[in-house]
Amino acid sequence: MPEEAPRRFLIATGVTVGLPKTGDRIAESVDMVSALFREKLGYERATSLGLNPSAKETQDELRDFAKKCNPEDIVALYYTGAARSPPPSSPSEC
């Protein structure tokens, strides 16, 4: 009996909230990575996460997805962005 190829899944999301200068590029990068993995590498989107998911949405989606995984599955995770910039360092911290 031939062995089945492992299933390939992609989880791709990003956070653009609070990033007015880079938010558009973050959104574009999620789209580009998703297209590359699906169209060129044969991956399937594993979750319905879009941009700016809450922590709870992310946890719930990942938990639900993990329940459906097999040990042989291949999962790629692409997460980009940040919620806010770090505060500037004070001169005494330099």
Task: Look at the block and give the residue holding tokens 């990068």.
Answer: 29
pTM higher than the cut 0.85: no
Is residue 91 in some structural domain? no
**The predicted structure's pLDDT at residue 93:** 44
What is the average pLDDT value for the chain, to the nearest integer? 88
9 is a domain residue: no
Its domain, for residue 75, covers 17-82
Q: What is the mean pLDDT of residues 76-86?
A: 78
In a domain, residue 30? The reply is: yes
Query: Residue 32 has which token pair?
Result: 């580009």
Query: Is 3 a domain residue?
Result: no
1 assigned to some structural domain: no
The residue among 35, 32, 12, 14 whose CA lies nearest residue 23 is: 14
Residue 29 lies in a domain: yes
- CA 45, CA 10: separation in Å to the nearest integer? 5
pLDDT digits (tens, 9 = 90+) for 30-60: 999 999 999 999 999 999 999 999 999 999 9
Could you tell me the pLDDT band of residue 3, with boundaries at 50, 70 and 90? confident
Structural domain count, the chain: 1
Read off the pLDDT of residues 10-21 as tens digits, 9 standing for 90 and up. 999 999 998 889
Q: Is residue 94 part of a domain?
A: no
